Structure 1
Amino acid sequence: MRPTRKCEFCGKTFVPRSGMQKYCSEECQAEAKRLRKKRQQDLINGIEPIMDLQHQEYLTFSKAAILMGCTRQYIYKLVANGKLKASRLSSRMAFVRKADIEKMFEGNPYKRVIPYGKRKPSCKPKTTNKQEPTKGKEENEVLDYYSGEEVMSIYKVKKSWLYTSARRNKIPMCRIAGKNYYSKRHIDVFFGTAVDIHSITEWVTADDVEEVFSMSKSALRAYTYRHKIPTKREYGRTYYSKEHLEELRRTDLMSDDNYYTTEQVQQLYGLTSANICHIVRAHHISKVKVGVKNLLLKTDVERAMAERAAKGL
């Protein structure tokens, strides 16, 4: 059985006629020779410009980019930043001196960049003595302080959560004898307890609010912050004052006969939502917002409809 060989150009298997044959056909041999000459010419074309630049003292921006192995736009950037000197002879001709390129490299030696997370710690000694309270908006203000244990006992929060929240919300604090003390006023405002929470008897969770008032948890957090509803946190759960929520949401008005909902007005008078909005503004109808719904005072609605009927509308 005659030995076979793989063509170095097309990869086909063939039976060589001699031990020196590398290609399966004359076409593959000619094509391989053409590609070999092309690679040689490309190498020469790439080296020749650099060899020519070795004997030139003044370079255009394009040739300077070839010499440095970068783009022409980067040369423009170096010149614009003042790192590389250039001379403009006309509106379309500018040159860079090779000596200035070498001078630029000599003036900018390589320096190791240490990542931020791997920097060596400072050698300054840490003081464990009494620290000054963190400055807030009011400077030179005498503040009453809670100890960390008092905050954890009153609001039922963890030590790590308290410290992180105080740092994140810039609550003034100080450290004395290894213990953290937090500004009483800022803690009360942060927990929404500017009022006396001990006088509030009914509390609801976020799940209860979602069921009763049809509010999502994100909407509840925003609503609580906007209206300063008292809250308390116990063992990782947040509770909201039911009394304040009911006072603001006015859920009792939904069953009040003195008010119409927008849907009821649409059914009674055959109006669209846009018509109702216009009538409310034009006739000064009193309205109350309960959740996502608007309640319209029944007497004002009937008065406005009577006026429209008198005008033939």
Structure 2
Amino acid sequence: MFIARKTSTNYCSHKCNNAAYKERIRQERIATYQKEISINTEETSIENKEFYTPPEVAKLLGISRASIYRYMAENIIKAVQFKGKTLVRRKDIELLFENAAEYKKRIPIEKAPITDFYTTAEVKEKYHVNESWIFVIAKKHNIPRTFNRGKTYWSKKHIDAYFAKKAPDPDITEWYSTQEMQEKFGMTLSAIYTFAYKNAIPKKKEGIMVYYSKKHVDIAKGIAKPEETMYYTVAEAMEKFNLTRDQLYHYVKWHHISKIKKGKYTFISRAELDKLLAPPKIE
């Protein structure tokens, strides 16, 4: 017994404190050793069993449980389903190796050779971009290129695929240039960029000129009313139901909600999403 000076004091002296610390470390080492022994004993007992559960088969073969369930579904591994339990015979696992097909060396998949190329001038002319911009984007997205007689040639397939992702919605036909938005709404360039980002305004780029969808800008500014469509854009659905993008896609996937894709934009069925997420009507 002793009188402690602080509420955090557990021992009467430094000597007792050290002794308690050493005992605590000793007990932790004993617990770790006993845990290792129990694991080894469990593995030994698994090897001597005649019937296994799927997790035990996975541990015995050293592969994932998902693979075991897939093999059972494909009838590669025979299993018996009881009420609340599935069992596999050890004999059936051994038969897998006895009746295994002859081993065949895996041949790596050969990549298709790149044969079609654009010159830098052709990319500039087709997509209205600057030469320096092409080199920056190609480096960032690992677009294959080759050199011949001092000229750079770009993989046609990869260039087209990149610009296809960046293509504007084909249904949008009217656009504001940044200059027109500055004049009409009295906005600075930085204000335009912030406004377009916050309201997810579709845009397209032609050379150094950037254009924004007239319809979306007018709706965001309150000049025009949104049309009642059969689909939500991702941004509209996120805002209406207060969801993150991941949460929205989770609902769409697991509840099989219809969606369509136009260019790089995804549209989700308005009726199906409303039925799932809209609050019930109180009578």
Q: Larger Cα Rg: Structure 1 or Structure 2? A: 1
TM-score, normalization by structure 1: 0.32
Q: Which has the higher contact order (CA 8 A, sep 6+)?
A: 2
TM-score, normalization by structure 2: 0.34
